[in-house]
Each structure stands twice: as structure tokens, then as C-alpha cells.
A and B are shown apart, each in its own frame.
With several copies, the nearest count.
Chain A
Amino acid sequence: MRTIDMDTNTDSTMNINVLYFASLADEANCQQETVTIQQSTSLTELYEQLCQKHRFSRPQSELRVAVNDYFAKWTDPIRDGDSVVFITPVAGG
């Protein structure tokens, strides 16, 4: 588990947990990480930040997002302590 040291966790920041699956786990080279982000960072902005860090090959338009183990909308807010997962196209069955 690694932490992005963009900020320390003051009132203006929040810590969230990001889990990686499938090709994103390959590209991030980890299963999960704790990320400290500015309050009111959107899910879209979060993916952009992580994209820059890990050089993910998938554009956001190809992904879905889940918050706290439920699918979420990209416009849903992130709260301190949330667990966020970016979902690449699934391939079950």
C-alpha cells in the first residue's frame, strides 16, 4: 500500500483508498493505494491524477467507477475514507 504525498491530511484534504483490478493493476503495479486528495476532487479529476501518475492506457470514457463497492456515477461526490475502483470493460461469463 502506497500513499501519494501530494498533501498532508488537513481539513482541506481527504484520504481515499483506490483498488486496482485487471489491466489497471498491471499498469499501476499494485492492488491498492491510499491517496490524499483535495476536498471536492471529482471522480473524473481523481482518474486524471492517477492517469498521470501511472500512465494508464485506458481513457476515462472506457471505464466505469465504483464507490464503496457499488457502481457510482462519475458525478457522484467523493468523501473522506471512500473506497474507489475504476472498472475496465468486464469479461465475465
Chain B
Amino acid sequence: MTDNVHGHSMTIKRSVDDVYKIAARDGFALLDIDIDESRLKKTLDDDSCGAFVCFEGRVRNHNNDTSVERLTYYGYEDLALNQGRAIIEEAKKRFEITHAIAIHRIGALEVGDVAIWVGVVSAHRYPAFDACRWILDTIKADIPVWKQEYYEDDSSKWLSNNG
């Protein structure tokens, strides 16, 4: 496995400022550096909202019983942005929420790093919980992001969310 065959999917084409602009407008973007939670939260501030629910997906030190050293996420950015926009649009139709934002990180991540952040605001609490969970599940099912886990012996494996 040579790195160059994945180079196009380990970094994003857009600037970081553009990523946060797209996330604010469409509700979804990919990013290839640390996710700035406070920047995303600011976008969600709304005096009509009593509820804010967020999910952070972090790199665990294990998967099943295997010890994990690091992970690399790969993304197909242009499809991810189109599909992410559709997911957030659908979430706003399905749930009584005011706004939602999610960012998925790609590239090499260490244990403890945040791979995905999903935040939802709504007037009342249950729709925020329901929408946050649905958006996360739908991202995991439909956003073209892949990951390889690396283990202590330097071996690695492509993972799938479907088993």
C-alpha cells in the first residue's frame, strides 16, 4: 500500500475558513485538522433554542479486543459535501430542530482525537437528541469516509460500519 494512491482522500481541497462557511450554510463538511468545537457551537447559538445536544466521536484505544494505536480516515470530499447537505436538510424535515452542524475529520488521527462532531439546537430537548443520533447514524451509513486501523504490530485493516 503506497500512500500516494490515497493522497487525494487524506486532505481536503478547500480552505479551513471555507469548511466552516460550508458547515454553517449546509450543515456538513469534511476537515483535515482538529475540529474547533467552539467555532461550530457559535454557529448554533440561537436565543429561541433551549436545547443543545452534541456528539463527539473519538478514536478509541481498542476495537473489539484489539488494541488500536492510530487510525487514518479517508474521504471523498465532493460527494461527502453533497450527501451531507442532503442529510442535514432531511434532518430538519424529520425533526423539530432549528439548526444542525456536523464535521467529519479525515487524515491520520491519534487515540483520543475527535473524528466526528455533530451538534443540534432546538426549542425543546427530545428533537435535539433524536436528530443528533439520526444525523450521526446516517453519516455513518452514507457519507463516503473510510478508515484504516493500525495496530501495535504495524498491521492495518480497512473497516466497515456494516460489520
Contacts and interface: CB of A to CB of B under 8 A. Distances in A.
Direct A–B touching in the complex (beta carbon < 8 Å)? yes
Interface of B is mostly: mixed
Interface stretch (B16-24, B92-100, B153-161): B153-161
B8 A90 contact: no
Interface stretch (B31-39, B41-49, B73-81): B73-81
Contact of A91 (B4, B76, B125, B158): B158
B139 A93 contact: yes
Interface in B62-82: 73-76, 78-79, 82
A87 B144 contact: yes
Contact of B146 (A21, A28, A71): A21
B115 interface: yes
A32 B76 CA distance: 12
B7 interface: yes
Interface of A: 19-23, 25-26, 28-32, 66, 69-71, 85, 87-93
Interface of B: 1-2, 4-9, 57, 73-76, 78-79, 82-83, 104, 115-116, 125, 136, 139-147, 158-162
